[in-house]
Amino acid sequence: MKQVKIKQLVENDYFVQTEFDRLRVNVGFTGVDKKVIMISSSRPNEGKSFVTTGLWIELAKAGKQVCFIDADMRNSYMRSNLRMKFADSENGFLGLSHYLAGASMDDIIYSTNLENAYIIPTTNIENPSLLLEGDRFKTLLSYLRTQFDYVIIDTPPLELISDGQRIAGICDGCILVIKAHTTSRADVQRCISMLDRSGCPLLGVVLNQQEDKKIGKYHKYAYQDYKYYYGS
């Protein structure tokens, strides 16, 4: 298997770390049949990629074999944000977009320097919708189900383009990231409707930048079950 070194991870404070641990536990409560989970938002800049990374790391630290798929093929920043260094950097790298275009599955799955944590990176392309219309992504997820305890997918925002909804149709569930005092109730309701049409259960929401008056600061991420949260 190919290797990539993750050279930079965000160091969370105690409160954020506690919420990521809570998120990991709640994901476990969703059931053993929820292995392929997408994380999305209604619009850009609501924190979905940060949440995906944090959940990926927490599950791996708990001893789960986890594969992170960067499926935000129009606007991915994961390679630069994590400062990935590929072992065979002279020849570049192959990722999700290459696989969907015909590359071998063996060429896109990378082990990392983080125990139990694997990743499928991507490059930015202009129109991945055409690639997502085929069966190759579904075939990839079917294979990953047999190899990993969890597959965590960072998708494009649901309301921005159709890519996220296409991916939702072959996932076991979705965690929706919403931004406090920014994401509207209508945005959340539209996302829930999109997921319903795709047949993808909404497992819960992650509330981003909700002020906690008890500690006088912001909990950057806090997990709540979606049944008890109806937007702002």
Mean pLDDT over 111-139 rounds to 92
- Got the DSSP string for 3-45? EEEE-------HHHHHHHHHHHHHHHHT-TT--EEEEEESSSS
Query: What is the tens place of the pLDDT at every residue in 78-124?
Result: 877 888 888 875 567 899 999 999 999 999 999 999 999 999 999 88
CA dihedral 121, 124, 125, 126 (to 10 degrees): 140
| Domain residue spans of the chain | 2-228
Query: What is the tens place of the pLDDT at every residue in 43-57?
Result: 888 889 989 999 999
Architecture per CATH, domain 2-228, reads as 3-Layer(aba) Sandwich (3.40)
pLDDT for the residue numbered 223: 43
